[in-house]
């Protein structure tokens, strides 16, 4: 796990060690325990004060308002969600790297240049002015919060948000390409990607429901078209359409990528249809097609987990 954004000052740790040594020589056991308890409580109080001070440095209500104005003006809900997802979805607990840390802000190399992140410079550029206004917030926190605000503004669930993510110091912290899912693969590919981050099959299906927002663009991903008829509305239409419509395989002209289309021109990816065809994924997808509230509840939990990969409870605080 990364170092917390607000840590216990070193001098308190050293004070604890020094106090313990003195107590060992001069205090009876009960007095020593009480003194250590008082020192620890003092250190914890200082840490809480530091956290409060850090929180006061960011006007989260004003930041939310500016983000709501941005998505209303630009209709950029989907790409803000994609930015957060691609920042967080690189995490590997085994290697203890990747995850939400704003590494794509180094635009000329590293993760920002990977094919899977094509087009995300648009989202980063949209957020630059807001980042300059709220310069105390890390890029990783801003990108995560922007996605939370965008999902809610599109009619989706309220996703609990905690701040405290730290930004990568330089582009050398970029992880290797290949940790995000490819749209032309199957169910086992989804499991390979998401199980690495310790997501269950149910969470995989819930997170896939984010495809109710947005569209694919041939010049970015090699795929083309909206998933649903209302690409700026967050609901369970993705799952309803998955079961209700006939999906015909086609090849995207120019890229050669396989995808599927309905009679209105909307599309699904191979990984989307895997939620229908795979016997373990299908029950969850079917449940979400019939019960939007259950989908919202499960998605909110899974998306919060995604956005907090690599951080402990002690490193994050609710706004």
Which residue numbers are catalytic? Answer: 86, 227
Gap between the Cα atoms of 116 and 98, Å rounded = 15
Gap between the Cα atoms of 226 and 313, Å rounded = 37
Cβ neighbour number for residue 1 with a 10 Å cutoff: 11
HEC secondary structure over the chain: CCCCCCCCCHHHHHHHHHHHHHHHHHCCHHHHHHHHHHHHHHHHHHHHHHHHHHHHCCCHHHHHHHHHHHHHHHCCHHHHHHHHHHHHCCCECCCCECCCCCHHHCCCCHHHHCHHHCCHHHHHHHHHHHHHHCCCCCHHHHHHHHHHHHHHHCCCCCCCCEECCCCCCCHHHCCCCCCCCCCCCCHHHHHHHHHHCCCCHHHHHHHHHHHHCCEECCCCCCCCEECCCCCCCCCCHHHHHHHHCCCEEEECCCCCCEEEECCCCCEECHHHHHHHHCCCCHHHHHHHHHCHHHHHHHHHHHHHHHHCCCCCHHHCEEC
């Amino acid at each position: 796990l990364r170092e917390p954004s607000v840590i216990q000052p070193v001098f308190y740790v050293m004070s604890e060690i020094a106090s313990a040594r003195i107590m060992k020589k001069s205090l009876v056991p009960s007095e020593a325990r009480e003194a250590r308890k008082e020192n620890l409580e003092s250190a914890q109080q200082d840490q809480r004060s530091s956290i409060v001070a850090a929180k006061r440095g960011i006007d989260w209500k004003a930041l939310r308002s500016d983000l709501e104005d941005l998505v209303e003006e630009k209709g950029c809900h989907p790409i803000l969600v994609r930015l957060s997802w691609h920042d967080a979805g690189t995490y590997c607990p085994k290697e203890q790297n990747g995850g939400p840390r704003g590494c794509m802000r180094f635009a000329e190399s590293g993760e920002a240049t990977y094919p899977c992140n094509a087009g995300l410079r648009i989202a980063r550029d949209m957020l630059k002015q807001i980042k300059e206004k709220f310069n105390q917030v890390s890029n990783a926190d801003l990108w995560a919060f922007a996605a939370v605000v965008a999902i809610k503004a599109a009619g989706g669930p309220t996703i609990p948000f905690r701040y405290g993510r730290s930004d990568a110091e330089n582009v050398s912290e970029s992880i290797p390409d290949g940790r995000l899912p490819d749209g032309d693969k199957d169910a086992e590919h989804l499991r390979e990607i998401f199980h690495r981050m310790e997501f269950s099959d149910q969470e995989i299906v819930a997170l896939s429901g984010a495809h109710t927002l947005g569209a694919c663009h041939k010049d970015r991903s090699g795929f083309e078209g909206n998933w649903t008829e209302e690409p700026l509305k967050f609901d369970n239409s993705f799952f309803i359409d998955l079961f209700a419509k006939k999906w015909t395989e086609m090849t995207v002209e120019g890229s050669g990528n396989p995808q599927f289309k309905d009679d209105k021109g909307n599309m699904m990816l191979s990984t989307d249809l895997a939620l229908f065809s795979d016997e373990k994924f299908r029950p969850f997808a079917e449940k979400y097609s019939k019960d939007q509230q259950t989908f919202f509840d499960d998605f909110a939990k899974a998306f919060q987990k995604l956005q907090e990969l690599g951080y402990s409870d002690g490193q994050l605080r609710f706004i």
